[in-house]
Structure 1
Amino acid sequence: MNDTSTTPEAGAAGSVRPTLAAVARLAGVSNSTASLAFSGTGPVSDATRERVLSAAKELNYAGPDPRARSLRRGRSGIVGVVMEERVGDAFRDPIKIALLDGISDEIAVIDAGLLILTDAGEAAQRIEDAPMDAVVLIGCSPRLDESVAMLRQRGIPLVAIEGDPADDVLTIAQDNREATRVAAQHLADLGHTDVSVVTLSLTRDRARGPLTDERLAAGSSNTTLERLSGVRDVFPDAGGYVTRGSFVEEGRIAGHALLDDPDDRPTAIIAQSDLLAAGVIRAAEEVGLAVPADLSVVGFDGVRVDGLWPYDLTTLVQPAIDKGRAAGVAIVEMLEGGVAHPATFTSVFHLGNTTAAPRAH
C-alpha cells in the first residue's frame, strides 16, 4: 500500500501548510536530521542536507523562519537543546540521537526547529542570547545554574532530561539507580562478589582514570553518580574506572585498565552504557578471557552495537526515544498555554548471554 500521508501537507493548492515532518518523510530521514539540515547546527552530510532541501522545495516548504514567526506569532520557531559534551560526540551516541528524534517528533506539530548548543567556550554565551522559544537540557549538571537563571529571567520554558536541574525545572527522569541496582543484584545472585564499574564521564573535563574517592567527590554528572549508587547498593566497595564518555574505545581502555593484571581482576564488570560494555568485551578478548565464562559483562541502554555478535548483551533497556517525546510534549504544552507534567521512565532488564556464575577456582 502506498503511503499518502504526505499528500495533504504537500498539496499544490496550498490548502494545508506543509510541515517539517512531511519533508523528513519524503527525504527518508528523521525529523531531527531534517531540522538540523535547516539549522546547520549538527553534523549532517552535504548529501543529506541537499536531499532534505530538495524535498522541502518539492513540498513548497520554506523551512523554519525565525524572523517570519517572530512577526506572526511572537516566537522564533526554535527549540534549543543544550548538552554538555561536544556536538560531534553527542552524534556518536545512539541514545542522544534517539532523544533528539523523540523531541523532534513532538515539536513538529508546532513546526519548530532544533538548535543544538553546548556550554563550552563561545557556545555558552549563545545559551543566554540565542533566539529560542524553549530549551531542553539533556543530562546537564548544576554548573549550568547561571545560564538556567538567565533563561528563566528571559521567560523561556525549560525542560530537563535527567541531569540535576534547579528545583523548579520540569524534569523527564530515568530510574538510573534502581535499574543499575537490578543489574548488580543479578550478578550477586549468580555468586559474584568482585564487581567493578566502568562509568560514563564524571566531570566537565572528562578526565579518565581509576574511580577514586577524590574523583567521586568532584563528580557533577547526575546520571553517572546515580548509576554508580545503584551498583554500590549491592556492592558497597565496588571500584572501577572513569571514562571520557560513551564510546567503544573508551570501554576498551577501561577494560584493559581493569583486566590486564591477572592477579587483580574482577569477575564481573558493569558498564554504564552498551558502547562501553562492547569495549570491555573487546578488551577481555584481547587479554584471553572468555565472556561470560571468565568475565560477566553488563551494559546499560539497550541499543544495537555493531560488531557485538555473537554476544547478546545483558543490559538495561531504556526508552530513550520516549523520553525525548515526553520532553517534546512538555515543550509544546508550555508554548501552547497548557499544563506540562514531569515524567519518570523505567528501564527493563534484558538477560543476554554475557553473564554467568563466576568460574570456580
Structure 2
Amino acid sequence: MAPDRQPRATLRAVAEAAGVSTSTASLAFSGKGPVAADTVERVLAAAARLGYTGPDPLASSLRHGRSGIVGVVVEGRLLHAFRDPFAVSVLDGLSQVLDEVPAGMLLIAQHAGAPEKAIPQLAGTALDAVVFSLCGPDDNPAVDHLAARGIPMVGDGSPADERVVQLALDNRGASAAVSRHLHELGHRRVAHLMMPLRHDSSTGLARRAVLEDAEFADSRDRALGFLDVFPDAALLAQTSLPDVEQGAAAARLLLDRPRGQRPTAVVAQSDLLAMGVVRAADELGLRVPEDLSVTGFDGVELPWFAGTLTTVDQHGEQKGRRLGELLRRILDGERPQDEVQDTDLRLGTTTAPPAGD
C-alpha cells in the first residue's frame, strides 16, 4: 500500500507559525516588500520547518490564467532530435525567448506513424501555447484538439492549417538555389538524396512517383526545387532517417557504379545527409570535391569535418528565436501574420567544377 500523501504546507500555516499576517509572510517569502530583516528570518525559518517551498504553481496558474508551460511537439523520437544539431539550434533559440517570457518548455514526441497518440498527453497538460518546430507532417490531428481548447499554435511551415501561425521556409526556392550553383559549375549528372518523404520511408533508390504521396512537405519541396534545375535527373534516393548513417547507406547506392554513370555531384536535403555522402565517397575512394561535389541544407556547425560544406544556411538559432517572438506576441494578445525565414547559400570547399570523364 502506498504511504499517505502529506498535505502541502500553506502560506497561512507559515504565517501562523511565524506570528505574522499572511500578507506579511507573502512579502517576506517573495523578497518583494518592505519587511524587517528579523521578520523575514522568522518567516523563512517557519517555512523551512513546515516544508513550504513557495506558492502552489497550479493555484497561481489558475489565478493568472496561464500555466507557464509551452508545449513543443517534435515529430519522431526525441533521441533523433537531440542528435540533429539543426534541431538543437532551433530549440536553443526558442528556449532563449521562452526564458524571457518567462515560460518553461515541455517537449512532446509525436510518433510519425501514429500522431494521434500524442493527444492524450496534450489533453492531460495545462499549456499556454504549442510550437510545431521540426518538419512535421502537413496534416496533424493534434491541431483540432488544441484549437478546440483555444490553445494558440505556431509552426515552422507545418502543420498546414490556417489556425497555426507559421514561420515558413521557401524550401523549393532554397533547394533550387543550391542546385543552380552546381549547374553553373558545369555539373549535369547530378543525384538527389532526400530526407524521409513519409513516416514509413525506407532507405534506398527512389522514383519520382514517391513525391506524389509525400507526407512531409519539406522533403517534397526540396526535391521539387532540385528538379526545377535538373529536370532530367534520374538518380534519386531517400532515407528512413535524416542522419549520417542512412545518408551514407543511400549514397553508396548512388555512387557505387562505373565512372561514366556515376554522378559528379549530390544534392543532399540536410547537412547530416551530406556528411553521409562524404563518408560514402571516402569509402569508395572518391575525393570531395575533385571527384564528387556535395551540398547540404541547414547550415549547422560540423566541427568534426575538416572542410566547409556548401549548404543552404537557414539560421537555426535565429529561426528558433523568431518562433519564440511569434509566440510571445500571441501570448500578449496579438494575432501576428505568417512570416518567412530567410536562407543564404553558403559556399564551402565541397563543390568544384566536374572532372572530365
TM (norm. structure 1) is 0.79
Written as runs of structure 1 = structure 2, the 5 A alignment for 1:268-347 is 268-309=265-306, 311-347=307-343
Partner-residue secondary structure (3-state), 2:70: strand
1:99-122 Cα deviation digits (max 9, x unpaired): 111111112223211111122264
Q: Does 1:105 align with 2:96?
A: yes
Q: Which moved more, 1:209-218 or 1:283-292?
A: 209-218
Q: Does 1:14 align with 2:10?
A: no
Amino acid at match of 1:228: A
CA distance in structure 2 between the aligned counterparts of 1:236 and 1:65, rounded to whole angstroms: 61
Query: Would the alpha carbon gap of residues 86 and 277 (structure 1) be closer, same or farther in structure 2, given more than 3 Å must change?
Result: same
Q: Does 1:199 align with 2:175?
A: no
CA distance in structure 1 between the aligned counterparts of 2:305 and 2:284, rounded to whole angstroms: 17
State the 1:215 CA deviation.
Answer: 2.4
Query: Would the alpha carbon gap of residues 342 and 63 (structure 1) be closer, same or farther in structure 2, given more than 3 Å must change?
Result: farther
Partner-residue secondary structure (3-state), 2:266: strand
Q: Which moved more, 1:350-359 or 1:119-128?
A: 119-128
State the 1:65 CA deviation.
Answer: 7.0
Query: Would the alpha carbon gap of residues 262 and 63 (structure 1) be closer, same or farther in structure 2, given more than 3 Å must change?
Result: farther
Q: Does 1:71 align with 2:71?
A: no
TM (norm. structure 2) is 0.79
Written as runs of structure 1 = structure 2, the 5 A alignment for 1:44-193 is 66-120=57-111, 122-138=117-133, 139-144=135-140, 146-193=141-188
1:175-233 Cα deviation digits (max 9, x unpaired): 22111111111111111111111111111124222222342222111111111111111
1:306-334 Cα deviation digits (max 9, x unpaired): 4210x211111111111111111111111
Given that residues 271 and 298 in structure 1 are in contact (C-alpha distance below 8 angstroms), is that contact kept between their aligned partners in structure 2?
Answer: yes
CA distance in structure 2 between the aligned counterparts of 1:338 and 1:302, rounded to whole angstroms: 32
Equivalent pairs counted in the alignment come to 303
Given that residues 64 and 113 in structure 1 are in contact (C-alpha distance below 8 angstroms), is that contact kept between their aligned partners in structure 2?
Answer: no
Given that residues 326 and 343 in structure 1 are in contact (C-alpha distance below 8 angstroms), is that contact kept between their aligned partners in structure 2?
Answer: no
Partner-residue secondary structure (3-state), 2:298: coil
1:109-139 Cα deviation digits (max 9, x unpaired): 2321111112226434323442211001122
State the 1:13 CA deviation.
Answer: 7.7
Q: How big is the alpha-carbon RMSD for the aligned residues of Structure 1 and Structure 2?
A: 2.2
Amino acid at match of 1:175: D
CA distance in structure 2 between the aligned counterparts of 1:63 and 1:244, rounded to whole angstroms: 47
Q: 1:358 aligns with which of 351, 354, 357?
A: 354
Q: Which runs of structure 1 show a deviation greater than 4 angstroms over 4 or more consecutive aligned residues?
A: 62-66
CA distance in structure 2 between the aligned counterparts of 1:64 and 1:158, rounded to whole angstroms: 29
CA distance in structure 1 between the aligned counterparts of 2:237 and 2:147, rounded to whole angstroms: 37
Identify unmatched segments of 5+ residues in structure 2. 1-28, 34-52
Q: 1:8 is matched with which residue? A: none
CA distance in structure 2 between the aligned counterparts of 1:87 and 1:206, rounded to whole angstroms: 19
Amino acid at match of 2:264: T
Amino acid at match of 2:225: G
Q: 1:53 is matched with which residue? A: none
- Identity within the alignment, %: 41
CA distance in structure 1 between the aligned counterparts of 2:30 and 2:74, rounded to whole angstroms: 41
Q: Which moved more, 1:268-277 or 1:244-253?
A: 244-253
Q: Does 1:251 align with 2:227?
A: no
Partner-residue secondary structure (3-state), 1:142: coil
Q: Does 1:222 align with 2:239?
A: no
CA distance in structure 1 between the aligned counterparts of 2:54 and 2:242, rounded to whole angstroms: 33
Higher radius of gyration, 1 or 2: 2
Q: Which moved more, 1:205-214 or 1:195-204?
A: 205-214
Partner-residue secondary structure (3-state), 2:345: strand
Identify unmatched segments of 5+ residues in structure 1. 1-11, 17-61
CA distance in structure 2 between the aligned counterparts of 1:276 and 1:161, rounded to whole angstroms: 21
Query: Would the alpha carbon gap of residues 342 and 66 (structure 1) be closer, same or farther in structure 2, given more than 3 Å must change?
Result: farther
State the 1:64 CA deviation.
Answer: 11
Q: 2:47 is matched with which residue? A: none
